[in-house]
Structure 1
Amino acid sequence: MVAYALQQCCILLMQMAILHEMGRRILFVTMALFMMHEAHRTDASRFYPTSQELNPKFHALINKTNLTRRLIDQVYPNTDMVYFAYHGAVLALAQDGYYGFIGTMDMYGLSLTPGQGSAAAVWIQGGGDGTPSNMKYIMIGWDVYPAEYGDSRTHFYTKWTNDGFQSTGCINMKCAGFQPEKGASISPGGVIEHVSSPNGAKQNLNLKIIKDGTSGDWLVHVGINRDPELIGRFPRSLFSGGFADRAAAVTFGGVVAGPITNPPPMGSGHLPTDDKSAASISNIQFIDKNGHAWPLTGDLPKFETNQNAYAVSPVVDGKFFYGGHA
């Protein structure tokens, strides 16, 4: 499936340990991240590296790994391209890990064909050694994916896995995993009736994902044009290793997949240079182990696989723009 290949690709690209394919470079990267962590430690945890702290050449190495291309070919051999543009915060610079995320995404309607997919999401990720079987994550956002839904409407969606989809995980509620709250206003896979106009009124998806301090479940709160309310949970029992207790990374942005001759739009279809029409993610906050939310006050490293077509702007006051290829 497009979405399956698309999500796995993005998560792999974020896992720093994937650099084991590059031999001795991993030692340099690990030492550099550790030194940055120590250099910035204060009494209060800092939840992210700045965009200046990670070398662009380091990002390029991740983006061009053969492992990623082999994974795409194996899972979805007919996918000509998978492009993404997002920001990320990693465990190397978070003293205690991540226990949740708060943010607002404006949502758009796109006219796509069955061979195309487009999504905006937040990925709550576990650690690992970069191998597919150790990929653990929760993904939440909005998407347009005709091959999955049989239409080109905008849907709220979730995705999860504990082992890179080898034996666990699914999109929305196609397997036992996500547990909906009784009376929830929306469920994974549900249609979002009202979407934004690039040059007009915005329709917002407000998200709050938090690790429950008692049960250990990942609680999902969602509100469309209103404060988020609890709609369900991913039980702690779904996950093994460190991800059962905390997240190692949090990333957010856009991702698309489809034929290279007919690439789909990302976000609103406008590049972030057009900040009046481009899609955005705003009110970004990270949640610590005590349940406190910390607004993002600085920029974050960005990851772009084709910045001429799809890009992200710098984060300013907890907000950035992304998208492209109208």
Structure 2
Amino acid sequence: MENTLEYYYHYSATQGRSWKKEGKPSIKTIQLKPSFLPNGLKPAKPKPATFYGFNDTCPSGTILIERSQKSDYFRSHPVDEKTESGDYFAIIETNTKGPNLFYGASARMTTHLFSLLPTQVSASSIFLFGGAHGPRYDLNVIEAGWHYSPNEYNDYVPRFFTYWTRDGYSNSGCGNLRCPGFVRTTSSPIGPGSPIKDFSVYGGEEVSFSLQIYKDPSTSNWWFLLQGESIGYYPRELLPNMDGGIDKIQMGGRVFSFLKDPSPPMGSGHPYYEGRNKAAYFTQVQLIDPMSRLYNIEPQFLNFISDLPDYYGIGDYHLANPNDGYVFAYGGLGGFRK
């Protein structure tokens, strides 16, 4: 077994002690599977992306978590982005014209292969926010999707990832399994941090994976379905300002680079207006209501935001066909320097 991984056979007790030490609430029980699945999930008809598994698998009844190392702290807390780094995005965002509470989100994301520098990060993800309209220190966030983060993993392989914070990214939170938080409940080799194996071909075949993040109506835990499989959850105790639902959802791309470097590619590395089989897409975009039902959201209830539109764009949000549902394109080549 690699020295960055270890098994916790009594996970709830171990996690409880760790959380108390860090000032987080303890978890008394582990939910092994969701009590309810979102009503209306579609079968995966597009070619699905596949994932390389972890090198280790857990014995029955145990959960694999990754031991946090000192270097991980510095990787996840870069220098002040206002002075020494560039952080840019192209997203859709729910606005105040539509529903004001949500209970999850669902989409398929196309996967793409491109090159970037060691210090750059490029992510395509779903964001769920609790307390979005309150003070930043009360902001709860769940983020998940796929990203390139060479400095974090010491490689140039795109991976599925998860992230959480309960105080607006100030002092809490981490990615994947690097601290107590995400409860991995499956014996499947795929999960947070898994490398992605298959990618879309520019001008050719489109490859994607499905992701649902939703609140279990019985336990209020936030469950993840990856490729239709329940892989684990964030406990309700971890994110108290999401207990009554989430008040903002974002989907799209986000990139990071130090100011001395050009900004990295986003999405497929091609402009969104190049269209299907070339640009990166989210398809089957749906939200989840209090009854765990999936529903479409109309364009007038969304904002389309790019803070660097000459380099990264977002658009083409429309109802494509019965299989793809609502879709949108995003991304760009990057290359911006301040």
TM-score, reference length from structure 1: 0.72
Tell me if structure 1 keeps the 8 A contact 2:273–2:316.
Answer: no
User: Secondary structure, in 3 states, of the residue corresponding to 1:273?
Assistant: helix
Q: Is the 8 A contact 2:81 2:87 kept in 1?
A: no
How far apart are residue 296 of structure 1 and its match? 2.8
Answer whether contact 1:96 1:288 (CA < 8 A) is retained. Answer: no
Q: Shift of residue 113 of structure 1?
A: 1.5
Q: 1:83-118 deviations in whole A, cap 9, x for unaligned? A: 11010114x334450001111100112212222110
Where does structure 2 lack aligned partners over 5 or more consecutive residues?
Answer: 1-76, 320-325
Instruction: Give the SS at the match of 1:147.
Output: helix
Q: Does 2:162 align with 1:158? A: yes
Shift of 1:185: 4.5
Does the Cα contact within 8 Å between 2:132 and 2:248 map onto a contact in 1?
no
Conserved 8 A contact 1:207-1:222: yes
Paired residue type of 2:217: G
Residues 190 and 212 of structure 1: is their aligned pair in 2 closer, same or farther, counting only changes over 3 Å? same
Matches within 5 A, 1:137-286: 137-223=141-227, 228-241=228-241, 243-260=242-259, 261-276=261-276, 277-286=278-287
Shift of 1:182: 2.3
Q: 1:237 is paired with a residue of what secondary structure?
A: helix
SS of the residue 1:313 aligns to = strand
Output the CA distance in 1 between the equivalents of 2:253 and 2:231: 23
Question: Judging changes above 3 Å, is the alpha-carbon distance between structure 1 residues 75 and 323 closer, same or farther for their aligned structure 2 residues?
Answer: closer
2:321 matched to 1:320? no
Give the equivalent residue in structure 1 for 2:84: 78
Offset, 1:257: 1.2
Alignment of 1:89-168 (within 5 A): 89-90=94-95, 92-95=96-99, 97-129=101-133, 131-168=135-172
The answer as to whether partners of 1:86 and 1:303 remain within 8 angstroms in 2 is: yes
CA distance in 2, matches of 1:283, 1:177: 28
Question: Which of the two has greater helix per residue?
Answer: 1
Are the aligned partners of 1:109 and 1:195 in contact in 2 as well (CA < 8 Å)?
yes
Is the Cα contact below 8 Å between 2:100 and 2:247 reproduced in 1? Answer: no
Where 1:263 maps in the other structure, the secondary structure is coil
1:311 aligned to 2:316?
Answer: no
Q: Offset at 1:165?
A: 3.3
Maintained 8 Å contact 1:110/1:154: no
1 CA distance for matches of 2:198 and 2:273?
Answer: 25
Query: Offset of 1:134 from its aligned partner?
Result: 1.9
Partner residue, 2:18: none
Distance change (3 Å), C-alpha of 1:198 and 1:220? same
For 1:202 and 1:76, the matched residues in 2 are separated by: 36
Q: Percent sequence identity over matched residues? A: 29
Q: Aligned partners of 1:202, 1:314: CA distance in 2, in Å?
A: 17
Question: Is the contact between residue 124 and residue 138 of structure 1 (CA under 8 Å) also seen in structure 2?
Answer: yes
Corresponding position of 2:61: none
Q: Size of the alignment, in residue pairs?
A: 249
Contact 1:154 1:191 in 2 (8 A): yes
**Cα separation, 2, equivalents of 1:123 and 1:144:** 17
**What displacement does 1:168 show?**
2.2
Q: Secondary structure at the match of 2:317?
A: coil
Match of 1:287 in 2: 288
SS in 2 for 1:84: strand
One-letter amino acid of the structure 1 residue matched with residue 205 of structure 2: A
| Structure 2 counterpart SS, 1:301 | strand
Secondary structure of 2:147 counterpart:
strand
SS at match of 2:151: helix
Provide Cα deviations, 1:48-89, integer angstroms capped at 9, x if missing partner.
xxxxxxxxxxxxxxxxxxxxxxx996357531x211101011
Q: In the alignment, which residue of structure 2 is the partner of 1:298?
A: 299
Which consecutive unaligned segments of at least 5 residues does structure 1 have? 1-70
Q: Distance in 1 between matches of 2:307 and 2:154?
A: 28
Contact 1:125 1:136 in 2 (8 A): yes
Amino acid in the other structure paired with 2:198: H
CA distance in 2, matches of 1:137, 1:153: 25
The amino acid that maps onto 1:141 is G
Counterpart of 1:262 in 2: which secondary structure? coil
Is residue 114–residue 146 contact of structure 1 (8 Å, CA) maintained in 2?
Answer: yes
Against the structure 1 CA distance between its residues 169 and 257, is the aligned structure 2 distance closer, same or farther, given a 3 Å change threshold? same
Output the aligned Cα RMSD.
Answer: 2.0
State the AA in 1 paired with 2:112.
Y
